Amino acid sequence: MAVFFTPEWAEEVREAVDRGPGEELRAAKLPAYWAWIDGARASYSSSWALGVRDLAGGGPVYLRLGWKDGACAEAAIVGPDDPLDATYVLVADFATWRDLLAGEDPGRIVMYRRLRLQEGDVLRFFRGIYFFIESVAAIGRVAARLP
């Protein structure tokens, strides 16, 4: 099992969000919902930096996911002293990440502002919100060894 917020874990996350949910998970929601997400994703070429504010040993540290024409093309871990370039920068504390990995609903995490948008246009970001939410759910399903 990869260690949380390491390059190995980031690559497993990239594969998981690029693959998207399996048939069993898709069957739990209406096809129209997935059609909306497929439409939002089709030409998506933005990047997300998802930070953990208080990872042991300091922070913030970011998981940067780069999308190119609907494919998750890059994944990297960006440290607090490294330059960060992303369309949208969102940050949560470690407790929120731990809850996400334990199965907490990512929509609820957003509603309760436990994951906050620190940089990026709010309206543009929300035009892909369900694609983002399902991608964060996919991140939560990647097993990771926590510090």
Partner 1 sequence: MPEMSREKVAAVEGSALGQIHDIDIDDVLDYVHKDLKRLPGYIELYQRYLRQRWDVYEIDFAQDARDWTDRMTQDEREAFTAISSGFHHGERQVEVELPVFMLGGSEESRIYMSSQIEDEARHTVFFDRFYREVVGLPGDSVQDVLDASFQHVSETFVGPFGLLAYQADELRADPEDLAARVRYGTTYFLWIEGVLALSVMKITLSYCRNAGLLPGYYTGFTATCRDEARHVQFGMRFLREAVQEDPRLLREIHETLRTILVINGATSRRLALEALGWTQDEVRRLMIRQLTMKLVDVGIDLPPDVQQMISNIEPELAGG
* Contacting residues toward partner 1, per CB under 8 A: 29-30, 32-33, 36-37, 105, 107-108, 110-113, 116-117, 122-127, 129-130, 133
Query: Smallest gap, in angstroms, from Cβ of residue 54 to partner 1?
Result: 19
Tokens 């540290």 -> residue: 61
Q: What are phi and psi of 64, to 5 degrees?
A: -105, 120
Do you find a cis peptide bond into 106, omega within 30 degrees of 0? no
Amino acid at 71: A
The sheet with strand 88-92 has its strands ordered as 71-78, 61-68, 47-52, 88-92, 115-119
3-state secondary structure 2-55: CECCCHHHHHHHHHHHHHCCCHHHHCCCCHHHHHHHHHHHCCCCCEEEEEECCC
SS3 content of the chain, % helix, strand, coil (to 5): 40, 25, 35
